[in-house]
Structure 1
C-alpha cells in the first residue's frame, strides 16, 4: 500500500512539473491566449488532469508566477552571498534570464496577486536593489543604471523569438547555432552594464543562415494549411 501511494505521489509530482514547464513554453509563444488544451497536449496529459490540479487557467498562471518570484529571490540572495559584487550581480541576471520571466509578462493583470506573491516580490526588489547598490559602490556597474533598468533588460533577454520560431518550425539543425547566438547576445547586452570595457564576446560569430534558413521549408515538412 505504501509503495503504491508513493508511486502515485511521484506520478502526480511528475505531471505537475510537466504541466508547469509546458505552460511556460506555450505562454512564451501564445501569450495570455494560450489554451488549456495546448498546455495539456504539450505536457502529455489530458485536459482533465490539468483541471484536477488547477481549477482555472488563471490559477495555473498564478502558480507559475509564484514559482518565478521564489526563483528570482533565491538568485538575488545567492548573488549577495558572493564576495565579488559584479559576479553576484551577473549571477542574479543570468539565473533570472534563464528562468524566463519575459514569457510570464503577458499574464500580468489577469489575476489578483496573493499576499505571498506580494511579499516575495518586495523581498526580491530589496535584494536586487542591494545588488545594484553594492555594484555601484564597487564602481563595477555603469553609472546611472538602476534596479528597474536591470529588471527590464532581464525581461527582454529572457525571450528568444528566434529560438521560439525554430522550435515551431522543428528546425533542429539550427538549434545549437541559435543557442550560441543567444548566449552571445546576452553577453553583449550584460557587458554593456560594466563600468569598464569588457573582454571578448564568447562563442562563435553567428552566420546569416539563422535568418535565411528560416525561410526555407523543412525537408519533407508539411506545409501549413491556410
Structure 2
C-alpha cells in the first residue's frame, strides 16, 4: 500500500489545526466573551499563534467563522421544526433553542455588532435565520397560534431581547431567561384584540 504523501499529510494537518482552533475559540468565546486573546486561543488549541493567523487573518474572521456555525445550527433546527405537525409548539421550541444558545454563549450577541457582521456569509446566514423564523411564524399565524401581524423578524428580535434582558441575572440565576422568554411568548400568542401601535419591520437592518 502506498504511503501518505507529504502534501496529503500537510492538508490533513491543516484541516485538523483549523478544527482545533475553531473548537478552542468557540469554547473560550462562549465562556468569556470576545475579548479573549489570540494567544489564549492558540494555547487551548495546542498550536502556535502563527498557525492561528495562517487560518484566520484577524480575530474578527475567527469570530465570523464561529458565528456562521451557530447561525447555521439555529437555522437547521428551524428547518427541522417546520416538519412538526403543531405550529404553535414548533415556534415555541425554536424560540427556546435560540435563547438557550444566546445565553450559553457570551460572545454571540457581542459579535453581532462587530466588523465580522460585514462578512457576506455572516449576513447571508442571518437572512437565512430570519427566513426560517418567518416560515415558522407564518405557520403559527395561519393556525391561530400567534397574534395576527406577528412576523419572523419580530420573533428574531424578541429572542435577542430576552437574552439582553436576562443577561445581568445569569451569573446568579442561570435559568432566569426562561421567565422573560415566557413573557415574550405570551406577548405574541395572547390576542388582546388590540392592534400593535407600529407596523413590523420589513427587514432586519444589519448596517
Return the offset for 1:8.
6.3
Gaps in structure 2 of 5+ consecutive residues: 191-207
Return the offset for 1:78.
1.4
Q: Give TM-score, length-normalised by structure 2.
A: 0.65
1:157 aligns with 2:163: yes
Deviates more, 1:147-156 or 1:124-133: 147-156
The whole-number CA distance in structure 2 between the counterparts of 1:125 and 1:97 is 15
1:138 aligns with 2:138: no
Structure ranking higher on relative contact order (CA contacts 8 Å, 6+ apart) = 2
The whole-number CA distance in structure 2 between the counterparts of 1:9 and 1:94 is 39
Return the offset for 1:119.
3.0
Gaps in structure 1 of 5+ consecutive residues: 166-177, 197-226
- 1:122 corresponds to which of 124, 127, 130: 127
Number of the residue aligned with 2:83: 81
The whole-number CA distance in structure 2 between the counterparts of 1:95 and 1:74 is 11
**Residues 35, 191 of structure 1: alpha-carbon distance in 2 compared, 3 angstrom cutoff:** same
1:97 aligns with 2:107: no
- 1:190 corresponds to which of 161, 181, 199: 181
Return the offset for 1:137.
2.6
1:106 aligns with 2:110: yes
RMSD: 3.6
1:70 aligns with 2:75: no
Return the offset for 1:128.
0.7
Q: How many residues align?
A: 180
| 2:176 alignment partner, SS class | helix
**Residues 98, 47 of structure 1: alpha-carbon distance in 2 compared, 3 angstrom cutoff:** farther
Q: Give TM-score, length-normalised by structure 1.
A: 0.60
Cα-to-partner distance string for 1:172-213 (whole Å, 9 max, x where unaligned): xxxxxx8xx64x5344333331436xxxxxxxxxxxxxxxxx
Return the offset for 1:146.
4.5
Cα-to-partner distance string for 1:5-56 (whole Å, 9 max, x where unaligned): 7776665444433322332343345544331112222333322221222122
